[in-house]
Structure 1
Amino acid sequence: MSESSQQAGMRRGTPVRKPDNFFDVLVIGGGSAGIGITASLLHRRPALRIGIVEPNDKHYYQPAWTLVGGGAYDVTKTVRAMSEVIPKGAYWLQAAATGFDPASNLVQLADGRAIGYEQLIVCPGLRLAWEQIEGLEETLGKNGVTSNYRFDLAPYTWSLVQNLKRGKALFTQPPMPIKCAGAPQKAMYLSCDHWLRKGNLDDIEVEFNVAGAVLFGVAAFVPPLMKYVKRYNINLMFNSNLVKVDGINRTAYFDIRDEKGNVERVAKPFDMLHVTPPQMAPDFIRRSPLADSAGWCEVNQETLQHPRYPNIFSLGDVCSSPNSKTAAAVRKQIVVVAENLLAAKEGRELPTRYDGYGSCPLTVEKGKVILAEFGFGGKLLPTFPLDPTVPRFLAWVLKAKFLPWFYWNGFLKGREWLARSRPQRD
């Protein structure tokens, strides 16, 4: 291949071989946030030289994995080649980022390169810390232990649900923050709905072990969720954190904290165990000068600009903004970062603010969803003029049909339907 043809092949998802190691905008991460913000920036400024640092060759639509675990979606429709989703006009640097030198505007890559930038967008997502639960990694995908938080395990969840006719099913939720805070209980509700329809629920003891003290972080949605807890006869165990799994003996161990703060380790047998793993910022973020005291990429929660490095922005699961970590939040954050980054580039005041919007379509049964939409402080931010606390079939259609289509054909293409944010206050 000639050098000219090789250079032409850098765009539209071909890994960069010998690029100029400098970009107008360098994006760390090729997930929902990274692809979405790149597409939106290129819509606004097609001439921008944008590089995306992403080591993986596959891109996943993770919100559908809960549906896969409930037998309502085909897992093969949740994955595409990374080369298919890299926006036209962007450069793909297929390597992992390992460190930052913000004083010199450089990012270090695992292959030894140092990549320069004028502006940096940090959005590598978070890390699933499976290793923090003793014995879990060696038993995932067998012995009745599963998780909808992994592409290859969501189908195993559905297999376990179909085959369980009697016994004990445990569902877990670790300490916050986690991505899609409603996903642990969505897996439980869809499982219970199947067992109810098949006439098996009376013979299955269902227990939800939550490391925190509440069922859901936005109080308005707790009463309708509690109706389903009662409908499915679910035993709620608060302040109960999974710390160890013995898959061979089908026993899970929980540290349970009482009202005085005393902790007792309790062993619980199971026939099915759905685990939501602890989650944290990636190590290369936590160790970097970009991190806050908790390890997340520090930002102003309204402008999403780094408070110490004004040419750096962050969005998605890795940023320190105290919003719900969902793809819906990313959809709103993209507009904020795109407009504020370009304003910063041009020396203008940052025009756009983020209101903390996040959405969690709570699949309480097959065919009905509570569409929870909220912002900072738990303020309800419904898109539609309907009571958001009522389970609806239309919300199910939105979750199971429209949103997956829109993700691949709109979100990742830079289309920003209903994604505007409030103007920045003076």
Structure 2
Amino acid sequence: MALNNIKKLLHLSPIGQNISINARRFKSLSCKVLIVGGGSGGCSVSAKFSKILKKHELIIVEPSDIHYYQALFTLVGAGIRSLKDSLRSTASVLPKNSTWIKDSVVEFKPETNSVLLSNGDQITYDYIVISTGLILHFEEIVGLNEALTTPYVCSNYSPEYVENTYKVLQKLESGNAVFTYPDSPVKCPGAPQKICYLTEDYLRINGKRDKVNIYYNTSLPVIFGVKRYADALWKIVENRGIHVNLRTNLVKIDPDKRIAYFENLDNPDIKTQLEYNMLHVTPPMSPPNVIKKNKLLVNEAGFVDVDKNTLQHIRFPNVFSLGDCCSTPNSKTAAAIGCQSKVLYDNINCLIDGKKMSRSYNGYASCPLVTGYNSCILAEFDYDLQPLETLPFRQDQERWIFYFLKKDILPPLYWHLMLRGVWNGPGIVRKLLRLKLK
């Protein structure tokens, strides 16, 4: 779906709707809390602050007219949902009791408690929350941008390409289907293999499975970081005849010959290549350059350098970060943001009131690992990669109820609870279920 068509569907004006203001009218703005980024983290946190701050005290800087629920892209790529299901106008998801500036930050100045916008205006703040997400780097894989214009290569990670995945899948009759995981941190690290399992299931349902070889090439040394779920996934790939190659990184594509070239990360001398009839690529990712270039803000890897428990910056006490762009060593998922937003909000409130920070994030993340058109494994775990399951039965088994949760329960929970600042993760549900069982 073209961007212009999406804007027409949402009736978007060039600068959003009534809660936005035009930053060009101002040379200097100030606020109590500045939120940079209007994605999952920015919306969740701003919704919380909008209940206690005045409109001019809460500023959100976000350049995009459209907000995507990116966790739904897997189902869009598999033909289960439409792209339209995954989006809303930014104006509709940001709190009305806030000031939205439709612009981008081009420079962070934590020493002076200010940021510079692309139009030259400046915003000063008492506290800042950085939640810009990650940037997709398709250009880092030689030949990928050209390959994405062909009917054989796709990627669920971008709204520009996600609808092509199902088109490629429908045309797949024989040969090799190849799925990749890059040598970089990625958002929703389970997504590259979800589409692999869905493709395998689609081929079986349509009687074409025996004509297609399926390869999952990942740069990681494991199929999944948590052993409990990794053991279950290994059984799935073995039973379904999916070839898994660990420490294998895509470096180049020849779209004319339909060949993908890989390096072995443990032995650079080993080079492999695969002809493909379908190639699903997960591109390398990183925080935006405006963050990476600010050495005062980031760690060596280019992520906003925060304490993993408090989400407070390790050098600037009035700087906080959550979501994919921060340095916390958790799996980067929307479920993690739900828990992080509450911790961050409470800790900033404590500082505003002159109190000691009271909340600590335990690294909770959740990944519904869709394994077919009616099956899913529900992975939940913490910083120590130990299972932290909510439901009172094993979640490392394929169940239709987890698929139903992913497809029909989590999207409305995201739109109507999480983005409204109400949902803080399943911790309370877990406690209530445990008490009931006791």
Fold conserved between structures, TM > 0.5: yes
Supply the AA of the counterpart residue of 1:250. Answer: R
Structure 1 position 43, deviation (Å) = 2.7
Q: Deviations over 1:179-227 (max 9, x none)?
A: 1110000010001100011111110011111112110111110121122
Q: Deviations over 1:87-138 (max 9, x none)?
A: 1111111111111111111101111111110100000001111111011112
Supply the AA of the counterpart residue of 2:232. Answer: P
Partner-residue secondary structure (3-state), 1:117: strand
Structure 1 position 239, deviation (Å) = 1.3
Q: Does 1:314 align with 2:325?
A: no
Percent identity, aligned pairs only, is 37
Cross-structure match for 1:347: 354
Cross-structure match for 1:397: 404
Match of 2:122 among 105, 108, 114: 114
1:247 & 1:354 partners in 2: Cα distance?
44
Q: Deviations over 1:50-77 (max 9, x none)?
A: 1111111111010000011111111111
Distance 1:396 1:14, change over 3 A: farther
Partner-residue secondary structure (3-state), 1:137: helix
Aligned 8 A contact 1:13 1:87 in 2:
no
Structure 1 position 357, deviation (Å) = 0.4
The runs of at least 4 aligned residues of structure 1 exceeding 3 Å deviation read 13-20, 44-48, 417-422
Gaps of 5+ in 2: 1-15, 431-438
Structure 1 position 48, deviation (Å) = 7.0
Q: How does 1:30-49 map to 2 (within 5 A)?
A: 30-45=38-53, 49=57
Cross-structure match for 1:3: none
Cross-structure match for 2:388: 381
1:193 & 1:174 partners in 2: Cα distance?
24
Aligned 8 A contact 2:24 2:119 in 1:
no
Structure 1 position 414, deviation (Å) = 1.1
1:135 & 1:155 partners in 2: Cα distance?
20
Normalising by structure 1, what TM-score?
0.93
Normalising by structure 2, what TM-score?
0.90
Cross-structure match for 1:100: 108
1:46 & 1:152 partners in 2: Cα distance?
37
The two structures, once aligned, show a CA RMSD in angstroms of 1.8
Structure 1 position 308, deviation (Å) = 0.5
Partner-residue secondary structure (3-state), 1:317: coil
Distance 1:397 1:10, change over 3 A: closer
Q: Does 1:179 align with 2:206?
A: no
Cross-structure match for 2:344: 337
User: After the TM superposition, which of the residue ranges 40-49 and 245-254 deviates more from structure 2?
Assistant: 40-49
Partner-residue secondary structure (3-state), 1:236: strand
Aligned 8 A contact 1:53 1:96 in 2:
yes
Match of 1:274 among 276, 280, 284: 280
Supply the AA of the counterpart residue of 1:221. Answer: Y
Distance 1:183 1:10, change over 3 A: closer
Distance 1:245 1:12, change over 3 A: same
Aligned 8 A contact 1:143 1:250 in 2:
no
Match of 2:271 among 252, 265, 269: 265
Supply the AA of the counterpart residue of 2:391. Answer: F
Supply the AA of the counterpart residue of 1:390. Answer: Q
Aligned 8 A contact 2:259 2:276 in 1:
yes
Aligned 8 A contact 2:76 2:163 in 1:
yes
User: After the TM superposition, which of the residue ranges 372-381 and 261-270 deviates more from structure 2?
Assistant: 261-270
